[in-house]
Amino acid sequence: MPASPKTAPNLNKLLQQKNIRALIFDLDGVVTQTAKLHAAAWKKMFDEFLQNGIENGPKSQPPFSIQTDYPRYLDGISRLDGIRNFLLARNLELPPGQPEDTFEKRSVWGLANYKNELYQQLLQTQGVAIYPDTITWIKQKRAENFRTAIISASKNCLQVLQAAQIENLFDVRIDGNISQERNLKSKPEPDIFLEAARELNISPTNCAVFEDARAGVQAGKAGNFGLVVGVNRKDASEAKALLESGGGLVITQFPGSQ
Ligand code: BG6
Ligand code: MG
């Protein structure tokens, strides 16, 4: 069943029924429209790599697909883990390399650094757009005394929040840098959400998780959160994938904005 905007008004009721006191939001694709920029940067980097960079492994490779490769292997996942996932899926192997490697080194770090350069360029040229429905709803819920956290696999999380001037909408932030410092495992493991709940000092069963990535919905489910909401900004087939990943419900917009 495609996610219908009709599901959104149920959300406020569900929070009450399930005794939810805190809301944990993923950043890219739920709060800001930056998942599209990540996907575009990944495509440019991997297509250059697939065309010119393969030394070992099957040489004839289809280009990177934003529709299929991005949600399966990269969405919601840390930069290095995402690259490893994609290479494995294409039967390709690269040495890990060093944190300062450039693209020409053809290492996991080299690819990661080039992708981040491309993502940074997109942030500069296109800017950070928010999802107005999410922001309006967060403000409403904060006024109703819900506590809020932002989580992200991204090391660029704080920069994106600052660019959109929304960092003060969240009591807690657990991002890619903090995950690295604290050794938190990448989604689909629940670590990042559990850490946010811990810092909010609210049991996961009283927290709702909002995620656009399949790996993120799986993480919410694995962490036994009170409510796991798939936020589908794509097409109906993605709604199905989010439900199959463990989403308790899927919405296309937050309530109050239809
Ligand atoms: C996630 C995105 O939020 O963060 C991924 O969905 C991205 O596409 C990941 O790769 C890591 O982000 P960054 O900015 O640290 O490379
Ligand atoms: Mg996301």
Q: What is the pLDDT of residues 239-255, one digit of tens each?
A: 999 999 998 899 999 99
Same domain? For 136 and 240 the reply is: yes
Structural domain includes residue 98: yes
Q: What span, in angstroms and rounded, lies between the C-alpha atoms of 105 and 119?
A: 19
Domain span at 199: 10-33+130-251
Last residue of a domain, one of 76, 93, 126: 126
Same domain? For 145 and 27 the reply is: yes
Take atom 12 of ligand 1 and give the residue whose Cα is closest.
154
Last residue of a domain, one of 126, 157, 181: 126
Same domain? For 155 and 233 the reply is: yes
| Cα 14 to ligand 2 centre (Å) | 22
CATH assignment at residue 189: 3.40.50.1000
Structural domain includes residue 257: no
Structural domain includes residue 5: no
Please count the structural domains in the chain: 2
175 catalytically annotated: no
Q: Is the pLDDT of residue 257 over 50?
A: no
Same domain? For 225 and 99 the reply is: no
Pocket probe mutation, ligand 1, options 31, 33, 38, max atoms within 8 Å of Cβ? 38
Nearest Cα to Cα of residue 175 among 190, 189, 195: 195
Q: Is the pLDDT of residue 142 over 80?
A: yes
Same domain? For 141 and 57 the reply is: no
For 1-39, how does the pLDDT look when each residue is reduced to its tens digit (9 = 90+)? 444 444 565 899 999 999 999 999 999 999 999 999 999
From the CB of 152, is ligand 1 less than 6 Å away?
A: yes
Same domain? For 119 and 231 the reply is: no
Ion ligand 2, residues whose Cβ is below 5 A away: 26, 28-29, 212-213
Structural domain includes residue 215: yes
Same domain? For 147 and 49 the reply is: no
| Cα 29 to ligand 1 centre (Å) | 11
Same domain? For 52 and 161 the reply is: no
From the CB of 75, is ligand 1 less than 6 Å away?
A: yes
Same domain? For 29 and 69 the reply is: no
From the CB of 154, is ligand 1 less than 6 Å away?
A: yes
Structural domain includes residue 82: yes
CATH assignment at residue 122: 1.10.150
212 catalytically annotated: no
Q: Is the pLDDT of residue 204 over 50?
A: yes
And the tokens for 27? 């950043």
- Over residues 141-150, the mean pLDDT reads 98
For 82-107, how does the pLDDT look when each residue is reduced to its tens digit (9 = 90+)? 999 999 999 999 999 999 999 999 99
Q: For residue 93, what pLDDT is reported? A: 92
From the CB of 169, is ligand 1 less than 6 Å away?
A: no
pTM: 0.94
Same domain? For 169 and 109 the reply is: no
Structural domain includes residue 105: yes
Structural domain includes residue 177: yes
Same domain? For 136 and 210 the reply is: yes
